[in-house]
Every structure is written in structure tokens, then in C-alpha cells.
Amino acid sequence: MTKLLEENVSTLKGIGEKAREQLTRLGIETIEDLLMTFPYRHEDFTLKDIAETPHNERVTVEGKVESEPTVLFLGNKRSRLQLKLLVGPHLIKAVFFNQHYLKGRLSLGDTVTITGKWDRGRQTINGNKLTMGPQSEQANFEPVYSLKSVMHQNTFRRFMRNALDYVGETIEEPLPPEILKAYQLPTMREALEMLHFPQNAGQMKQARRRFVYEELLLFQLKMQAMKKNRKESEKGTIIQYDLEKLKAFIASLPFELTNAQKRVVNELCAELKSEVRMNRLLQGDVGSGKTVVAAIGLYAAITAGFQGAMMAPTEILAEQHAGALAEWLEPFDVSVAFLSGSTKGKSRKQLLERLVAGEIDLLIGTHALIQPDVVFKNLGFVITDEQHRFGVEQRRVLREKGIDPDVLFMTATPIPRTLAITAFGEMDVSILDELPAGRKEIETHWLKEDALQPVLQKMSSELVKGRQAYVICPLIEESDKLDVQNAVDVYNQLTVYYQGKFKVGLMHGRLHSDEKEEIMRAFSEGEIDVLVSTTVVEVGVNVPNATFMLIYDATRFGLSQLHQLRGRVGRGAEQSYCVLLADPKTEEGKERMHSMTETNDGFVLAEKDLELRGAGDFFGKKQSGMPEFKMADLIHDYRALDTARKDAERFLALDAFWTSEQFRVLRERLEASGVLGTERMD
Ligand code: ADP
Ligand code: MG
């Protein structure tokens, strides 16, 4: 940017030592700082039809003074000024408190503009702003800045005016003309004018659109430049898989892949074959069929002579994966082994020997996979399921076991696309956004907690048909012990309720892993009809015969978690049901329950969750690491983000981006951010 912008604000007319000090307190040193202080809202003084204005809403009206103003002194320096005003065909009252001096300015027949809160019942406007003359002579929109009562809005606006006039046309344009034209964005200079001194709502929006795009474009340029750098400097292994074998395997599956699965398989295979090291996130809603995609990817690596590994957060899940993958892959001469904390002694020793000798092609397990003595012969591809449960450190350790293995992280927590491409900016993202054909939507109902009886009847009617049910107990965040207690209580009640008819099982985090395993096995083989459980059952468990889920105290769970839980049913061909028992106290809680009954789409729910809780909460406090934007809002501006992402990709691939004048300002900013590294020679 030009020199003028870098000058201290004190160069400006009207800014003396005091104002300079006040501005410093607001974090404003240079003229650029001042111009880049964006208003956080605009006051709208556009005229509105009083007949259409709801009670208690702020409104601006223009009218004719119809009565001599009267003043009532209320004591203690308080006063009330009142007058009648003709607004179009409506005769209304206007009152001002503690501004009796206005009386001298107002005469019968004057045209005035008043802004205030509309009291519909009393047909009275409680004025707080009065200007003489018609509205057309004044600005409709006034920006409001966050000034922490350091200075008056009017003073600040005056400084802003001086700053804009001072720098005039010398402001450089960061965006290339092609972009300004294509998206009809105002130039930098125009946008600053429109933002700080808007004539109308349209201008304000235009200006905002421009700054949002610019901010997101720069952000995407940085992210992608970083990713590109990483790919160029960290070479991975070329996995030359056997396409014929892979095709034969896919043909052997009992179902046809969905289009989304085919697309993701292609993405994976292309990357395995390239020398780029894979660092990819696979997102797929519950039931979208991630496991088979993982199997195909792992088999690809195995046909190329590498070993594969797959890691899951719980023993139950790991075992389920091992079962499924062994069933699919063993007929293709793949030797599959399972390793967890409960693999001990001689069998563990033997397993490790076979692993290092390369006799095991595919190792599946829990985080036991990353213990130091687990050594692979040539690990080429690693998949971790439910990546958010694994710490960064664990992922690093696993990765270091192989010679630059490709790594795929899978998650069933649908992260809104917008967040995925920002928060996971350094990863590539694949999305399974389609469920296998023939799935029925889960019917979800929200009932008050006193409606337990009819719910149990409905559950029984499913059990009678030979189906199974989950009952999820309230979650007590602070206390694992209470969690278990709750589950035990519910288990006891249901055991009595179903005495002699159905078998009830209990599952919670305090059970020994052998016990958990046994219960899960009994449930999936149909020996247990009703599984009472805490949230340990949350991820990945696949029992297609389960068609009913009851969730106690559903308000305790976030939307994404509820959706995960619900995903345990609806996995077979039969209609499934999910009942939420909840008495939410807040509007937000009610909205969450409604959302659950309205959609089965995890991505929609994730967007909703994000909207209700905000991005920081969505990722949890620690993880939040979300980029902060001045103007852009990841939820509302997701289209702009997508546009910016595509543009950034295109720009970085252009030779002109590195040489031409039209990209100079963007280039300089990118260079200044330090993400380019030092290698770039051209
Ligand atoms: P998730 O993505 O939740 O991990 P799974 O991989 O467990 O889903 O798949 C859920 C169920 O759908 C499994 O029983 C799986 O065998 C089945 N499945 C996967 N892909 C398909 C498909 N293309 N057509 C039909 N069923 C499929
Ligand atoms: Mg899964």
C-alpha cells in the first residue's frame, strides 16, 4: 500500500495529541488502521410505514408538527416533552424525555424527522433522535463503530472523513480488474466510501461483499500456498496398485458402490499412485459406507506390496472393522490381524513377529497399534477412523512407523463444508454425501419426559417383530460414576418391565473390555433385545436389526452427537425410529430438538449446530483454532468462501500471478505473510 496510508493519524486535520492518544487506545495508529476499522453495525434511518411497524421496534418517521409541544417537568431535572405529529394519514404522538430544550426549536407546521421506539398501543413514538426537515436531506444510514466510549461516534466519523479525503485516489487496488468486473465489486476506494459513508443499505452490502471476498481470497491464497509447499517438499511413496485386482475386489462386494463412494475411491487411488503424500480427511455421514471405501484403499496399497493399518478409537469398533475387512479381504489372500490392549502374552509376541516379517498385510486395532514395539515391515497406508478422537501426537507417532505412509482420517461427524475447508485447510477433504440406495429415513419424534409409557409401548411393538432397540441414558458430564448409576437404574427398570419377554443388556464405560465385547457380540447376534447404554455406543457400531432408539434427557447432547447416536439405527432395510425424551428449558434447546425431528441429513444438522453454538463451540474450546475474520462470517459467507477457494487455486497456478502487475498487491501480501517459504525461484 502507498506511503500515505502508513502515516500516523496525527497527520490528519483535527487530530491533536488528545485524539491521537484516544485512537491509540482503540488500536489505531496509522491512517490505514483508521480506514480499516469497520463499523460493527449501521443505524438505519430509512423511513418506514408506521402502520406496518411492530410494537417496540425502532422506526424513523417524517411528519408535520400538529400541536404546540408541551413540557411536563417531573422533578429531579426530569421532563417529558410531547407533541402531535401527522405522519402521512396517521396522527400520532411523539414524546422526548429530558430534552425539554427541543420545545424552542419546534413550531406548528414544521416538517421534522424523528427516530425512536414505536409504542403501537399508545400510537406514540418514544423519540431519541430529532432532526429538523425532511428525511431526504439526511443520511439514511449511519455506521456505528465499536469505540468503547473512548470517543463520540460523530467525532470518529469526522476523522474517517478526513482520512478518506487525505488519501484520496492513492489507495492501491489489491483485487485484479478481472475479478472486480466479474463479481461487480466496488474498488477499494469506492468500498471504503460506501462502508463508512453509505447512502443506502445497498451500498453497505456492496462494500461488505467486497471486503468479505478480499479477506477470504487472501486467506485461501495463504492456505493453499502452504499446502502446495508441503506437497512439494514432503514427497510420499508411490503406491503402484494392481487395478485388475482392485476391480475384481469391488465386483465381489455384495452391493454396488454409490456414486459418492466411487468418486472418493478414485480420489484416494489417484493420490496413492502419485508421489504426493496423502493427508486427507474423509467425511461421511453415519451409514454412508466409509468402511468399504477404507477397505478398497487398503487393498490397493496391499496389491502394491505394502502393509496397511487401520486404527479405531474403541475396541468394539476396531473389532467390528477387523471382522468386516477380514470377511471382504481374506478371500483375496490378504492376511488380516487384530491388535488391541487385550492382545497379550504369546499371541501378541507372535503377531508382532509376523508383522515385522511382513506376513501380516493388514493390521487393525485400537491405539495399541502405536505402541513403540509395534513395528511394520513396510507400512504404506494408514487409516484412522473417527479422527477427532485421536490426538495429534498419536497420529504423528503412527505416521512415523512407516516410510512416509499415506494417511487418511475418517470422520462421521459431518463438519460443515465451510469449516472443513478452513479448519482443515492443510488437509485435502473428500466427502461421502450420499447414502446407499434403499435406506429409509429414520422417523424421529420429540416427546416430553412424562410420555415414557407410550414410548415403551412403541418400543415393545418393534421388539415383538423380532427387532432390537437401544436405550441411551442421560449423560452426566462431570461424573462418570453418575453416568453408570443412571444406566444401571434404567437397566433395572427395563429388566423388570420386560421380565420373561425380552432380554435387556447393559453397557457402560466402566465395564471391562472383555465384558463390553461380550455384550456387543450378544447384541449383534440378537441374544440381547434391548441394549441400555451410555454414550459408549456412540460411534460406528453396526447392528442392522436394531430399529428403535430411545434417548433419555436428549437436551444434554449437542446436535451432532444426537445425530451420531441416532445413526445406530436405520442401518437395515426396515423402518427405524428414534425417540427423544426432553424437556428443554431454553429456546435453543427446543430448536435443537425440532431440528432433529426435521432432518436426517448430518450436514444440515452440523450447519444448524454451528449456527446455534458458534464455531468456537463446534470445535470445542481447545481445538477451536479457527481463523478470525474481520468481515467474513464462515456460516453466512460460505458461498463467497467457495468462490474465493476456487479463485485462489486458479491464481496460484497462473504464471502471471507471480509476475504481473495486476496481482502485485495480492502477491506482496502473501509474501509478507511468510507462507511461501524460500524455494520459489521464479
Ligand atoms: P459408516 O460410514 O457409518 O462407517 P458403514 O461403513 O458402517 O458406514 O456402512 C454402513 C452399512 O452400509 C454397512 O452394513 C455396509 O456394509 C453397508 N454399505 C456400504 N456401502 C454400501 C452400498 N454402496 N450399498 C449398500 N450398502 C452399503
Ligand atoms: Mg464407521
The pLDDT assigned to 124 comes to 95
- Please say if the pLDDT value at position 625 is more than 50: no
Instruction: Answer yes or no: is pLDDT of 433 > 60.
Output: yes
> Closest Cα partner for 650 from 180, 221, 184?
221
Ligand 2 centroid to Cα of residue 224, in Å, is 29
| Distance in angstroms (rounded) separating the CA atoms of residues 108 and 365 | 86
Cell of 193: 466510501
- Per the model's pLDDT, the better-predicted residue between 649 and 633 turns out to be 649
- How many angstroms separate the alpha carbon of residue 33 from the centre of ligand 2? 49
284 lines ligand 1 (CB under 6 A): yes
Determine the atom of ligand 1 nearest the C-alpha atom of 385: 4
The residues near 303 (Cβ < 8 Å, ≥ 6 apart) are 241, 242, 245, 246
Q: Closest-lying ligand to the alpha carbon of 436?
A: 1
Ligand 1 nearest atom to the CA of residue 293, by list position: 6
User: Positive or negative CA dihedral for 214, 220, 226, 229?
Assistant: negative
Tell me which ligand sits closest to the C-alpha of residue 254: 1
Question: How many A from CA of 485 to the centre of ligand 2?
Answer: 29
Q: Is the CB of 290 under 6 A from ligand 1?
A: yes
Using one digit for the tens of pLDDT, what is the confidence trace for 490-505?
Answer: 999 999 999 989 999 9
Q: How many CA atoms lie within 13 A of 362 on its CB side?
A: 31
Residue 320 beta carbon below 6 angstroms from any ligand 1 atom: no
Residue 166, Cα to own-chain centre: how many angstroms? 41
Q: Does an H or E element contain 35, and which?
A: helix 31-35
Nearest to 593 by CA among 615, 570, 566: 566
Distance of CA 464 to the CA centre of its chain: 41
Instruction: Compute CA 638 distance to the chain's CA centroid, rounded to the nearest angstrom.
Output: 10
Nearest ligand for residue 255 CA: 1
Q: What confidence category does residue 617 fall into, taking pLDDT thresholds of 50, 70 and 90?
A: low
Ligand 1 lined by 282 (C-beta under 6 Å): no
Q: Is 413's C-beta closer than 6 angstroms to any atom of ligand 1?
A: no
Place of cell 482443515: 424
Quote the cell numbers at residue 212.
Answer: 468479505
pTM: 0.64
pLDDT for 682: 36
pLDDT at 680: 39
Q: Is the CB of 283 under 6 A from ligand 1?
A: no
DSSP letters, 336-354, are: EEEE-TT--HHHHHHHHHH
Q: Which of 113-122, 308-317, 334-343, 465-474 has the lowest mean pLDDT?
A: 308-317
Ligand 1 atom 17: the closest Cα is on which residue? 289
> Which residue's alpha carbon is nearest to atom 4 within ligand 1?
290
Enter the C-alpha cell of residue 642.
Answer: 467457495
Tens-digit pLDDT profile for residues 206-235: 999 999 999 999 988 988 887 777 777 777
Q: Please state which of the ranges 233-237, 413-417, 604-608 shows the lowest mean pLDDT.
A: 413-417
Dihedrals φ, ψ of 620, to 5°?
80, 150
Nearest to 454 by CA among 595, 593, 582, 579: 579
C-beta 259 within 6 A of ligand 1: no
Residue nearest to atom 19 of ligand 1 (CA): 289
Q: Whose CA is closest to 218, among 678, 672, 681?
A: 672
pLDDT in tens, 29-40: 999 999 999 988
Strand 379-385 and strand 504-507: pairing?
unpaired
Beta bridge partners of residue 532, listed in sequence order: 471, 506
Q: Which of 292, 411, 431 maximizes ligand 1 atoms within 8 Å of its Cβ, making it the mutation to test the pocket?
A: 292
Kindly tell me if the per-residue pLDDT of 532 is higher than 90.
yes
* Residue 258: pLDDT over 60: yes
Residue 306 has pLDDT above 80, yes or no: yes
- DSSP, collapsed to helix, strand or coil, labels residue 159 as helix
- Of the ranges 212-226, 337-351, 379-393, which one carries the lowest mean pLDDT score? 379-393
Average confidence (pLDDT) over 411-416? 74
Residue 227 phi/psi, 5° resolution? -60, -40
Residue ranges with CB less than 5 Å from ion ligand 2: 540
pLDDT bin (cut points 50, 70, 90) of residue 70 is: very high
The string over 612-633, giving b where at least 16 C-beta atoms fall within 10 Å of a residue's C-beta and e elsewhere, is beebeebbeeeeeeeeebebbe
Mean pLDDT (the chain) is: 86
Ligand closest to CA 602: 1
pLDDT, tens digit, for every residue of 77-127? 899 999 999 999 999 999 999 988 888 889 999 999 999 999 999 999 999
287 CB under 6 A from ligand 1? yes
Query: What is the average pLDDT across 59-70?
Result: 92
Could you tell me the distance, in angstroms and rounded to a whole number, from the CA of residue 143 to the centre of ligand 1?
53
Ligand nearest to the CA of 284: 1
Mapping DSSP to helix (H, G, I), strand (E, B) and coil, where does residue 252 land? helix
Question: Is any ligand 1 atom within 6 A of the Cβ of residue 563?
Answer: no
The response to whether residue 258 sits with its C-beta less than 6 Å from ligand 1 reads yes
Q: Is the CB of 321 under 6 A from ligand 1?
A: no
pLDDT, residue 661, reads 93
* pLDDT value, residue 242: 96
* Residue 276 DSSP label: B
pLDDT at 45: 82
Percent of the chain with pLDDT over 90: 51
Per DSSP, helices labelled H in 343-448 are: 345-356, 392-401, 417-423
What is the mean predicted confidence (pLDDT) over 405-414?
83
Contacts 24+ apart (CB under 8 A), 200-204: 200/46, 200/140, 200/141, 201/42, 201/44, 201/46, 201/140, 201/141, 203/141, 204/42, 204/141
Reply yes or no on whether the pLDDT at 624 is more than 60. no
Is the CB of residue 286 below 6 angstroms from any atom belonging to ligand 1?
yes
Taking the C-alpha atoms of residue 408 and residue 281, their distance in angstroms, rounded to an integer, is 6
pLDDT tens track for 278-291: 888 898 887 889 99
Q: Does ligand 1 lie within 6 Å of residue 408's CB atom?
A: no
Q: Does 340 sit in the ligand 1 pocket, CB within 6 Å? A: no
Which residue out of 252, 290, 291, 293 has the highest number of ligand 1 atoms within 8 Å of its CB and is therefore the one to mutate?
291
Question: What is the mean pLDDT of the segment spanning 193-212?
Answer: 90
In this prediction, residue 615 carries a pLDDT of 56
Distance 292 CA to ligand 1 centre (A): 7
- 288 close to 570: Cβ distance less than 8 angstroms: no
Lookup: cell for 392: 495429534
Ligand nearest to the backbone CA of 261: 1
Q: What share of the chain has pLDDT > 70, as a percent?
A: 89
CA angle, residues 367, 371, 373, in degrees to nearest 5: 145
pLDDT of residue 621 exceeding 50, the answer is: no
Q: What is the CA radius of gyration of the chain?
A: 32
